[in-house]
Amino acid sequence: MPTAGLIALNNLPRRRVPSGSRVLVNGAAGGVGAIAVQLAKAYGAHVTGVDHASKLALVRSLGADRVIDYTSEDFTRSGEQWDLIFDVPGNQSFKAIRRALDPRGSYVLIGHDAFGATGHRWLGSIPRVLGLVALSAVSPQLRGGSFASPDKRQLMGTLASLMQTGQLRVVLDRIFPLSQAPQAMRHLMSGQSLGRVVLRIDD
């Protein structure tokens, strides 16, 4: 929770998601995406989760109102529009994203980079993020974020409160002993994990 939870909540605060908003989470079954789905539902949004077909049952169990299998449907070409698109993998260009974004909506890019498999060889998603920052001068859909350092104590308090009320849960895929850290990393990088992968440190 202190990693994925902080990333999700810092980029998806309540003020960005009025009750009744249409929110799409791309990469909805991963560590950050799974929390984003639950946060949006806790805010009262109608949530669409996008991921691989094998992961959609999990996305539904997290509260998504609708799921999309990205292997058979491109949400940017569906003709539908959402008020907010929370994009974890960043596997679509902003030009494509805009087709699915309400003109008054907003776009949030996390930019996972698939452990270095995508994005710039050395800088990952940084060049793309800087490009979007520059574009925000003429595109209101890219505004609303903040570069201020987050108040981690406050954010963790919010996450803890949501967990205590049952609105947020951590999804665990597998637990590996520390001695199997390489295998755990390969499993995580395969893209097959559902939620978080944990390393157990024994006494």
Question: What pLDDT score was predicted for residue 90?
Answer: 86
| pLDDT, tens only, 54-112 | 999 999 999 999 999 999 999 999 999 999 999 998 888 889 999 999 999 999 988 86
pTM of structure: 0.84
Supply the DSSP string of 158-191, one letter for each residue: HHHHHHHTTS--PPEEEEEEGGGHHHHHHHHHTT
Taking 50 as the pLDDT cut, the residues of the chain under it are none
DSSP designation for 116:
G
Residue among 191, 160, 199, 152 at smallest CA distance from 7: 152
Per-residue pLDDT, 167: 96
Residue position matching structure tokens 């292997």: 71
> Quick one: pLDDT at residue 82?
98
> Cα(first)–Cα(last) distance of the chain, in Å?
22
Q: What pLDDT score was predicted for residue 97?
A: 93
